[in-house]
Structure 1
Amino acid sequence: MVSEYEKQRARNIEQNVALLQSLGLDKPLLEPKEKPRKTKPLGKKRKATSEAEIVEDAPTNVKAPRLSSEVLTDTSVRRSSRNAGKKVDYTSEQQRRDPLPLAYSSGVKTTENTGPLGSEGGGIRTYDPKTFGTIPGVQVGTWWETRQGCSSDSIHAPWVAGISGGSGGAYSVALSGGYDDDVDLGYAFTYTGSGGRDLKGTKDAPKNLRTAPQSSDQSFENSFNKALKRSSETGNPVRVIRGFKLKSRYAPSEGYRYDGLYKVEKAWMEKGLNPKGYLVCKFAFKRIPGQPPLPVRADAEDAVEPKDETASKAEPSV
Structure 2
Amino acid sequence: MPVPTFGHPGTYRPGDTFRNRIDLSLSGVHRPRRAGVCGTPVLGAESIVLAGQYEEDNFEEEEIQYSGNGGRDPKTGRQITDQVATTGILALLRSVETGLPVRVLRKVPADDGELEVYRYEGLYQVVGSTYAPGKSGFLVYVFRLRPLVGA
- 1:255 alignment partner, SS class: strand
**C-alpha contact (below 8 Å) 2:56/2:66 kept by paired residues:** no
**C-alpha contact (below 8 Å) 1:178/1:192 kept by paired residues:** no
Shift in Å at residue 270 of structure 1?
1.2
The answer to whether 1:286 aligns with 2:146 is: yes
2:68, 2:19 → 1: CA distance?
Answer: 25
1:146-205 Cα offsets, whole Å, 9 max, x none, are 1211111100012222111112111100011143343211342101111123xxx5xxxx
Partner of 2:12: 138
Match of 1:176 among 31, 51, 55: 51
Match of 1:194 among 66, 69, 91: 69
CA RMSD of aligned residues (A): 2.2
Q: 1:217 to 1:144 in 2, by over 3 A?
A: same
Q: TM-score, normalised by structure 1?
A: 0.42
- 2:61 alignment partner, SS class: coil
Q: Map residues 102-117 of structure 1 onto 2, 5 A cutoff.
A: none
**C-alpha contact (below 8 Å) 2:53/2:77 kept by paired residues:** no
The answer to whether 1:269 aligns with 2:131 is: yes
Q: TM-score, normalised by structure 2?
A: 0.84
Relative to total residues, which structure has the larger strand share, 1 or 2? 2
1:241, 1:269 → 2: CA distance?
Answer: 23
Which of 1 and 2 has higher RCO (CA within 8 Å, sep 6+)? 2
The answer to whether 1:244 aligns with 2:108 is: yes
The answer to whether 1:229 aligns with 2:93 is: yes
After TM superposition, the runs of 4+ consecutive aligned structure 1 residues lying more than 4 A away are none
Kindly, what percent of the aligned residue pairs are identical? Answer: 37
**C-alpha contact (below 8 Å) 2:54/2:78 kept by paired residues:** no
Partner of 1:150: 24
- Structure 2, unpaired ranges of 5+: 110-114
**C-alpha contact (below 8 Å) 1:129/1:157 kept by paired residues:** no
Instruction: Please identify the structure whose Cα radius of gyration is greater.
Output: 1
**C-alpha contact (below 8 Å) 1:241/1:256 kept by paired residues:** yes
Relative to total residues, which structure has the larger helix share, 1 or 2? 1
1:288, 1:244 → 2: CA distance?
Answer: 21
1:102-128 Cα offsets, whole Å, 9 max, x none, are xxxxxxxxxxxxxxxxxxxxxxxxxx3
Match of 1:162 among 5, 23, 36: 36
1:227, 1:210 → 2: CA distance?
Answer: 26
Q: Map residues 1-318 of structure 1 onto 2, 5 A cutoff.
A: 128=2, 130-166=4-40, 167-197=42-72, 209=74, 211=76, 213-219=78-84, 221-244=85-108, 254-274=116-136, 277-291=137-151
- Structure 1, unpaired ranges of 5+: 1-127, 202-208, 246-252, 292-318
Q: 1:213 to 1:141 in 2, by over 3 A?
A: closer
